[in-house]
């Protein structure tokens, strides 16, 4: 440290050991109690990120954890539809109250505050990012063991805001079998590492389909390259999800949390360890 130091690190170019880093973390609502926050991300749209978020939340709820979903995909919110939530979010003098699903999952989404579900959100990036922060700071998330944050695809304003403003304990990257997956996953991995966010692993959606006649596993989108991609970036493949028409039916009917399965068993085990690890 220089003898002339004025403790204003933001104005200083010296790389000294006493440099203070600026934290952009936002405090949650004073009545919130959230143990772990897990982001669900994808490098591109249409790979099933919201589906994985929904299945994960439902699976963890069945395993005895109090779960919540913060829907950060403001311009394309679909979490309320998947859970069949039609009523709007309520509030009291203390703050905003999340909606509660059939099995007790706490949910907050922009569609729970819009007058109509089909109203478009025509906002610029900073306003969208600000709304996501308000879902964290103004909503009363009481006694949540694990919150899943359903992020919009890509590496834009909202993922950056979430990584900087929320205490993310880890992320799950959702992808699909197409050949361009390596490049797309690479962008998500590199952003997470730039932000010092731990990566729990990869989930490959639409990995295969089961023939209803012979039971054979069919690679609809070609041979999976997920193992090669994971090895390339030094991360783990957690689970592979099939193409299952029943899943679409459960989503369309708003009953996704009633779709019982063990397709995300490896990820559930990893989350069990993460949740029960000692908080720093």
Q: Is residue 172 part of a domain?
A: yes
Residue in the structure block whose two tokens are 């720093």: 280
What sign does the CA torsion over 196, 181, 43, 81 have?
A: negative
| Cα–Cα–Cα angle for 145, 269, 40, rounded to 5 degrees | 65
Number of domains in the chain: 1
Q: Which domain holds residue 102?
A: 27-276
Q: Is residue 209 part of a domain?
A: yes
Q: Is residue 18 part of a domain?
A: no
CATH of the domain at 150: 3.40.50.300
**Cα–Cα nearest to 77, from 137, 151, 136, 148:** 151
Q: Is residue 3 part of a domain?
A: no
Q: Is residue 1 part of a domain?
A: no
Instruction: State how beta strands 217-218 and 99-100 pair.
Output: unpaired
Q: Is residue 2 part of a domain?
A: no
Phi–psi pair at 184, nearest 5 degrees: -65, -45
Predicted confidence (pLDDT) per residue in 257-266, tens digit: 999 888 999 9
Each residue's pLDDT, cut to its tens digit, for the chain (280 residues) gives 556 676 555 445 455 655 555 688 999 999 999 999 999 999 888 899 999 999 999 999 999 999 999 999 999 999 999 999 999 999 999 999 999 999 999 999 999 999 888 898 999 999 999 999 999 999 999 999 999 999 999 888 999 999 999 999 999 999 988 767 778 889 999 999 999 999 999 999 999 999 988 989 999 888 888 898 899 999 999 999 999 999 999 999 999 999 988 899 999 999 999 888 755 4
- Return the bridge partners of 210, or none: 217
Q: Is residue 6 part of a domain?
A: no
d(CA 97, CA 170): 25
Q: Is residue 110 part of a domain?
A: yes
């Amino acid at each position: 440290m220089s003898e002339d130091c004025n403790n204003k690190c933001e104005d200083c170019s010296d790389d000294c050991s006493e440099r203070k880093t600026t934290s952009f973390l936002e405090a949650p609502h004073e009545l919130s109690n959230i143990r772990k926050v897990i982001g669900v991300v994808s490098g591109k749209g249409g790979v099933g990120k919201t589906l994985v978020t929904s299945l994960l939340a439902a699976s963890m709820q069945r395993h005895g954890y109090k779960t919540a979903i913060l829907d950060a995909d403001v311009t394309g919110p679909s979490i309320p539809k998947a859970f069949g939530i039609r009523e709007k979010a309520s509030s009291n003098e203390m703050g905003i109250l999340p909606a509660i699903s059939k099995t007790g999952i706490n949910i907050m989404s922009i569609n729970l505050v819009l007058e109509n579900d089909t109203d478009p959100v025509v906002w610029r990036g900073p306003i969208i990012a600000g709304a996501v922060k308000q879902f964290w700071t103004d909503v009363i998330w009481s006694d949540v063991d694990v919150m899943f944050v359903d992020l919009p695809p890509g590496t834009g304003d909202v993922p950056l805001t979430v990584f900087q403003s929320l205490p993310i304990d880890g992320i799950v990257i959702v992808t699909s079998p197409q050949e361009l997956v390596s490049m797309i996953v690479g962008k998500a991995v590199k952003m997470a590492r730039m932000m010092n966010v731990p990566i729990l692993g990869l989930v490959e959606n639409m990995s295969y389909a089961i023939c209803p006649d012979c039971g054979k596993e069919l690679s609809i989108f070609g041979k999976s390259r997920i193992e090669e991609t994971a090895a390339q970036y030094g991360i783990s493949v957690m689970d592979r999800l099939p193409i299952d028409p029943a899943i679409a039916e459960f989503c369309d009917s708003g009953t996704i949390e009633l779709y019982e399965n063990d397709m995300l068993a490896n990820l559930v085990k990893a989350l069990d360890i993460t949740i029960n690890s000692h908080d720093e």
